[in-house]
Amino acid sequence: MTADPAAQMLDLLTGGWVAQTLRATAELNIADHLADGPATAEQVAERERSDPRTTYRLMRAASSLGVLGYEGERRFALTRPGELLRTGVPGSMRSLVLVQNEHAHWQSWERLPDAVRAGGSKAREVLGVDLFGYFAQPENAEEAALFSRAMGDLSGLVTQGAVATVDTTGVTTVLDAGGADGDFVLGLMAANPRLEGLVLDLPHVVPGARKEAERRGLAGRFTAVAGDFFVEVPPADLYLLKMILHDWNDERCLTILRNCRAAVTEGGRLLVVEMVIGELGTPDFATRVDMNMLNVTDGMERDLDEYDALFAASGWRRAKTYPVGGGYSVLELVTTP
């Protein structure tokens, strides 16, 4: 039986309400309050110092979304998706829920029709600077820290699958370009004691990468280098570009890819980790992410044909493609003459 099209449209157009309901659930620490077991809205409200009646209404809405389960007698419990809203647990997505509904992202989404008409993001008009410039401003430090945690949590979901899948046999040196704290390369190093790892990132990021390497006991095989992958990259046998290319337009992506091609050792490879847009007309989360990129960056999500065109124009060829979790894939590249 075909669903009522009006009901379908109502479900779609209230997606923003769903996002803000998740945000409120995260901000009021509902999942943390239920971590030890089911509780009533009144008990949660007492712990959170919120209004009992409206807390109940929020938890009722969260239960209709599948984030909470209803146990009867006004008691709610966490579901498996709800567990992801807890603070500081493996796989937590709490920071991601919060930052996607904070000022920088939420206000930029209001300008989506203008971005489509103009051919690019209107974030600069909304925020006064681009997204990363906004996060660099001292008055936005709290939101910037939230964004950093969110990206770290998301990266962790992907890195675990990538480390378990990537073959580093015969590789000596791995460079994580724009690698932040080096989670990806450090994971590969832990799995292969013969690897030497590097992170190339902006100067303010380098100390954090060194600290993380020390924390994992890998500092003896690790180097963090301050630099700009738009200018040049150090030589390596294997390059990692995890969630990098989608931040940039085609011209900037070509610069990064060509710099890696110019520096790679003979027989070396490059791993691109990104979402890939699939078959048109089918449900595809990557297309939603692409709208977010249009809103807040100069980048985009791409399909395989679009990626292959970039690779061919920069001296690379896609040899393998495999999923690594979280909707992300590894595009494994080899050099072309």
The amino acid at 177: A
Annotated catalytic, 246? Answer: yes
What is the DSSP secondary-structure string of 14-49?
THHHHHHHHHHHHHTTHHHHTTTS-EEHHHHHHHHT
Burial class (CB in 10 A: 0-12, 13-18, 19+), 46: middle
Instruction: Point out the catalytic residue in the list 33, 103, 105, 246.
Output: 246
Contacts of 131 (CB under 8 A, 6+ apart): 104, 108, 123, 296, 297
Q: How many residues does the chain have?
A: 337
- How far is residue 182 CA from its own chain's centroid? 15
Q: Are 84 and 93 in contact (CB under 8 A)?
A: yes
Cα(142)–Cα(320) distance, rounded to whole angstroms?
40
Cα(149)–Cα(287) distance, rounded to whole angstroms?
23
The amino acid at 170: G
Element at 6 (helix H, strand E): helix 5-13
Q: Are 333 and 319 in contact (CB under 8 A)?
A: yes
Residue with token string 């050792």: 265
Catalytic center residues: 246
